[in-house]
Amino acid sequence: MKNAAVCFCSFLLGGCFVLWLQSGSSPVSVAAAQPPDAKATSRLAVPRAAIQGDLFSSSADQSLAQDALSLIAPPRVYDANGLAPDEAVSAFVYEANNRSVTNIATRIGAARGLFGENRTADSGSGFILDRTGHILTNNHVIEGAQRILVTLHDGQEHEGELVGADPINDMAVVKIQAAPEDLIPVRFADSSNLKVGMKVFAIGNPFGLERSMTTGIISSLDRTLPVTLARSIKSVIQIDAAINPGNSGGPLLNSHGEVIGINTAIASKTGQNSGIGFAIPSNLVARIVPELIEHGRFIRPEFGIDEVARTENGLRIESLAVDGPAAKAGLRGPEIRRTRRGFVTFETRDISRADVIVGVNGKKTLKPDEFLSEVESHRPGDRISIEVLRDGKVISVQIVLK
């Protein structure tokens, strides 16, 4: 009974307090919704009397009240189109780039068969590099295609011609014949400046839904993405933006609307987005694409080592190209001994005499992929240093790439 009496008294006091507030000032309320503009804000409306001293006895109390109200409803500024800052960035990125993204479909066989069009597949995406009609995509998007169909943002469909491809780095360049005014090129950014946590945007054609955009962040950098059993792409960008079938070959963009990579793969057991996507960095694009356009392939430097065997200590040289850069520089393979017995010549190989590669330019390389990636980051004519284990000691051999 005693507790019930206390509760009842508290209820009466609370009711009296509310009536007193209503008689002395306007009640606390949420501001009426207004169409957002450049100066519009969303905040709680507070009775003037509450701030001027009716409820708070000191200036310190009033200051604390203002601080509390600012935490409850911080102002939100909109632009002239009614967009919040993060929305304005997303809209800008899309408006600046969606016309640069193309749908790429492949067709098996001739353009028309006895019963009409032959089978097509919405293979993936691409994006425009220049006003002469060059379009970049993944090699796996167009690999094996007998016909390539490129659809622009306005629905125009063009026959695509394969200009060049690099399967190892999963890039291909296709060219179409279109009016320059219909071709909107993208802008590239330096991918070496990327940071984990940066916001990213992916535009592509997932499931044939043209020019769809998803957003996310950079989850990690410098990932390695296998493309064959022996080769992989280095410095790959890991993102959590939704990537699905059809996004391959589309651009990955930063908040400035610049391309920082090509969306190329996902990690998924089902083939659908699982929050782990990968993009080839733009700096690798800058190195590969000009040669695809000029030569139709990426010209890799020759170093004259034909075969290596992986060991616990490094990469043992199994064979060298005759008069190749490695042989001329003094690198050693297995010592071959030939003995003749009657009409038969016997050949033995002494692998203990072969050099074991342990590094390139001071970088430790114990895998064939690591060695090839480091060497191929240079151009013909460049001088590189190969560190090898010979007779129990590590020595450095200078090689001029050919």
Looking up tokens 């004259």, which residue turns up? 304
* Residue 270: count of CB within 10 angstroms of its CB: 7
Active site residue 170: yes
Contact, 87 vs 36, CB < 8 A?
no
Residue 391 DSSP SS3: coil
Burial of 397 (0-12, 13-18, 19+ CB in 10 A): middle
* Residue 132: count of CB within 10 angstroms of its CB: 14
Beta carbons within 8 Å of 42's beta carbon, 6+ residues apart: 31, 73, 75, 76
Looking up tokens 């890039």, which residue turns up? 171
Looking up tokens 């200036």, which residue turns up? 59
104: tokens are 């790429």
Angle, CA of 243, 248 and 254, to the nearest 5°:
65
Element (H, E) at 93: helix 85-97
Distance from chain centroid for Cα 236: 7
Contact, 397 vs 386, CB < 8 A?
yes
Q: What would you measure as the largest C-alpha separation in the chain, in angstroms?
A: 124
* Residue 20: count of CB within 10 angstroms of its CB: 11
For residue 400, the cross-strand partners are 383
Distance CA 253, CA 187 (A): 9
Q: Which amino acid is at 132?
A: T
Catalytic residue among 140, 158, 191, 355: 140
Active site residue 140: yes
Cα–Cα distances (Å) from 8 to 16, 20, 21, in that order, read 13, 19, 20
Active site residue 378: no
Burial of 177 (0-12, 13-18, 19+ CB in 10 A): exposed
* Residue 95: count of CB within 10 angstroms of its CB: 10
Going by DSSP bridges, is the β-strand pair 277-281/232-239 parallel, antiparallel, or unpaired?
A: antiparallel
Catalytic residue among 248, 282, 355, 373: 248
Q: Which are the catalytic amino acids?
A: 140, 170, 248
